[in-house]
Amino acid sequence: MIPVNRTEPAWWTTSVVYQVYPRSFADSDGDGIGDLAGVTGRLDYLHELGIDVLWLSPIYPSPQDDNGYDISDYQDVDPLFGTLADLDELIAQAHQRGIKIVMDLVVNHTSDEHPWFVESRSSVDSPKRDWYWWRPARPGTTPGEPGAEPTNWGSFFSGPAWEYDEASGEYYLHLFSRKQPDLNWENPEVRRAIHQMMRWWLDRGVDGFRMDVINMISKELPPRDGAVPTAERDGVVPAGAVHGDGGPFFLCGPRIHEFLAEMHAEVVAGHEATLLTVGEMPGVTIEQAQLFTDPDRHEVDMVFQFEHVGVDQGDSKWDVLPLRLTALKESLGRWQEGLAKAGWNSLYWNNHDQPRVVSRFGDDGEHRVRSAKLLGTVLHLHRGTPYVYQGEELGMTNAPFAAVEDFRDIESVNHYRSAVELGADPRRVLDGLRRMGRDNARTPMQWDASPGAGFTTGTPWIGVNPNHVEVNAETAVADPDSVFHHYRRLIELRRSEPAVALGDFTMLLEDDPVVYAFLRRLGDVELLTVANFSGAPARPAVPGYDEWLEAELLLGNVAGSSGPELAAWEARVHRRTMTG
């Protein structure tokens, strides 16, 4: 049994966060792209779902090379999404409904069109030259020629991580696209500018930050070659077998804890009681996460780790393996245990970078509704703060992309081009994109059965999933048995039953290949969750399950079911009070 952290629980231990990807959420002006007024118009829906916090993916001015994760002005709103006044209105309207707003903070890199980079690039003597990672060509090579890059690192979006700048004869580092140059956090002026910008947002009324790839901001110096072929890094893989793996030099680098502690002291200190900070951290280990999230260290409240979304991956994220439930349990169970004494878990299946979970770990055909409810139940009953990604509460599925032309995401488009150039079978590459491509998460939110799915009256920037005629919010809200109402109950349960938020966690049946089972305990209250991850009936081999059957059934996904056997994709949460 894992002991409970006895300190005063933070407000976000009982909260649920909902992620909005504004581009795909709701389009108020018919241009085919979602916007802020669209989000504001849907706040009542989110309020009905019961969420506490809304995390907004980037809405800042951006050339949109990576859908806004390439920012050219940190303190404004892209006209695509509206104006600062629209954002103020969204914040005010959300606050009126008791919903906090968390902004995406993308400060590992800027856009190459950000004035900082424009200035940095303008001359080797520019006062901002050192704000980015400029390096000469590898000694003994001809600058600009293949292989002359300062290190052999691959970028996450295919090709080398260094771009040659002919005008100055030097290279700049970009771990993501060439339009996303990495900021140099070694330079204290950079850090000061970022802290200032963050304070500006807090003054504007936002309630925290989700920090994009924040464990990449500290790089080991000097940058050196990485191992070839590239090693898998928990779901984020520098593409292209010819490149080296720079991960060991930039994932949780030498000054990362110092930088986050400094950011906390400069920006967050004094506001802890109301703010939320969550760091996205590919490749983070439990030991590191303990340090990042230990409240006494004042770094971040929680991190997004990637281990459990890597359990179905082979040599790269595109190499998809069948899910082994035992591996998923082993991973999530270890994270539960690892952050039990100090620190806190964030819990997620989905976000704008992951395929839809009901297609990935559930059954998006015959058992779509039931398996979506099961997945929600299992996740929300873990100890940690659950994140719901738009449409997850409807059981939205992956999209039936027919051809490479249907994809919009730079990662998918670049991977297809580079893999096919390297000789891969285009059909296999396409199959990988269909299963793992980020666009699966980015098809428009399905509000109703109309041709634009209620998302837009215009032409959507990416195709609407044809299943919106049956999978949509209008139908789900009207149906008390829908995935939506199941999620609503799960969110409610977190507030009404303290053991859901704060109980300790014990994994059961670690070796069972189909049943996921665990206990939560707080005081004399004990909760048992059992879930059948299969399309055939299964009997949970939980010791004393017959007695549990006498206990209260807090939540289930199969009406009227009560026997010792779970139906296909059935999940149950039992509650009892321990006596003696």
Which residues contact ligand NOJ (rule: CB under 6 A)? 66, 69, 106, 176, 212-213, 280, 352-353
Nearer Cβ to ligand NOJ, position 176 or 461?
176
Q: For ligand NOJ, give the closer residue by CB, 59 or 542.
A: 59
Residue 35 is a catalytic residue: no
- Which CB, 350 or 385, lies closer to ligand NOJ? 350
Residue 53's nearest CA partner among 277, 264, 329, 297 is: 277
CA 263 to chain centroid, in Å, comes to: 22
What whole-number distance in Å separates Cα of residue 254 and Cα of residue 239? 25
> Is 212 assigned a catalytic role?
yes
Residues 118 and 112: their CA atoms lie apart, in Å, by 7
Q: Which of 158, 162, 122 is nearest to 145 (CA)?
A: 162
Q: Which residue is nearest to ligand NOJ (CB)?
A: 69
Q: Which is nearer to ligand NOJ, 152 or 414 (CB)?
A: 414
Q: Give the closest residue to 378 by CA, choosing from 549, 500, 552, 234.
A: 500
Can you point out the beta strands (E) in 254-394? Answer: 276-280, 302-304, 346-347, 385-389
CB of 374: closest distance to ligand NOJ in angstroms? 26
Smallest distance from ligand NOJ to CB 62, Å: 11
Q: Whose Cβ is closer to ligand NOJ: residue 212's or residue 504's?
A: 212
Q: How far apart are CA 282 and CA 212, in angstroms?
A: 10
Angle at 412 between CA 407 and CA 417, to 5 degrees: 100
- Our CA angle for 197, 200, 206, nearest 5°, is 110
10 Å CB burial of residue 405 (0-12, 13-18, 19+) is exposed
Cα–Cα distance for residue pair 417/324, rounded to 1 Å: 31
Q: Which CB sits closer to ligand NOJ, 106 or 252?
A: 106
B/e letters for 439-473, b = 16+ CB within 10 Å, e = fewer, are: bbbbbbbbbeeeebbbbbeeebbbbbbebbeebbb
Residue 361 near residue 354, CB atoms below 8 Å: no
Q: What is the spatial distance between Cα 198 and Cα 209, in angstroms, rounded to a whole number?
A: 9
* Residue 110 Cβ vs ligand NOJ, minimum distance, rounded to whole Å: 10
Measured distance CA(235)–CA(233) in Å, rounded = 6
Q: By C-beta, is 27 or 353 nearer to ligand NOJ?
A: 353
Q: How far is the CB of 108 from ligand NOJ (least distance, A)?
A: 7
What is the spatial distance between Cα 420 and Cα 422, in angstroms, rounded to a whole number?
A: 5
Report the SS3 class of residue 209: strand
Give me the least distance between CB of 348 and ligand NOJ, in Å please. 12
Catalytic residue among 280, 312, 411, 526: 280
Query: In the complex, what is the shortest distance from the CB of residue 104 to ligand NOJ, in angstroms, rounded to a whole number?
Result: 8
Cβ 438 to ligand NOJ, closest distance in Å?
7
Q: Rounded to 5 degrees, what are φ and ψ at 80?
A: -55, -35
DSSP code, position 185? T
- To the nearest whole angstrom, how small is the minimum distance from the Cβ of residue 123 to ligand NOJ? 27
| Catalytic one of 27, 52, 78, 212 | 212
Query: For ligand NOJ, which is the closer residue by CB, 416 or 518?
Result: 416
**Catalytic (active-site) positions:** 212, 280
